[in-house]
A and B are shown apart, each in its own frame.
Chain A
């Protein structure tokens, strides 16, 4: 089965990004497909490469980046939600005249159409939020 996953809360304050990660891993282990994960609302903050949690804690952003590269998951961050919250890739940083970009490896910035597309094309949409 093809699962589309939505993460709609930020890392560490809420468990949603962790639960979504465990769900994705479990689904993949069972032989299901997780072609794409969409980050919305504060969920976009998961993609910040500037995250530095204490060493004895899980690294939510790195967990996702690693899982994505091992399983070819498309990690999509909503552009409107990201720009509100200060998440920029190189292109957007340049375009907005900012001196730094902070989109972590394995993530890409795109539009809400990518979210709707998951609903149309996949078998199930699972939303992890508050």
Chain B
């Protein structure tokens, strides 16, 4: 993909309470079909989107968190999670669901999609993009 652009989808909001997280994921799923270099960033309350064992039975809203595990099949394999945002919310990387992708070039080895990065690293990741969409 020589002329592929780098797209970063920034997720800043909690998964429920507003529709931003769900509609952001809908954009990512469509974007995957355009063969661009796609990354996702999770910061602020956005880190809650990746927590495991979500249960929305009590609020009558669809639990869309399993969809994140399907992103690998769409070749979306870079999910950057900001370390400080986790810590500020009393969360630990072990509170996040396991999301993997199969590396075609390494005999389909399962590799983790989630990468914990510092706030400073996140700034570098953002600066490196062609298109940043913030939700």
Contacts and interface: CB of A to CB of B under 8 A. Distances in A.
Interface of A: 6, 8, 40-41, 80-81, 84, 111-113, 115-117, 119-120, 125, 127, 129
B52 interface: no
Interface residues of B, number: 18
Contacts of A120: 5, 34, 36
Interface string B33-48: 1101000000000000
B113 to A, nearest CB: 20
Contacts of B30: 111-113, 115-116
Contact of A127 (B19, B130, B133): B133
A2 B36 CA distance: 19
B99 interface: no
A81 B19 CA distance: 10
B134 interface: yes
Interface string B111-135: 0000000000000000000111111
Nearest to B5: A120
Interface string B19-35: 11001001100110110
B49 to A, nearest CB: 16
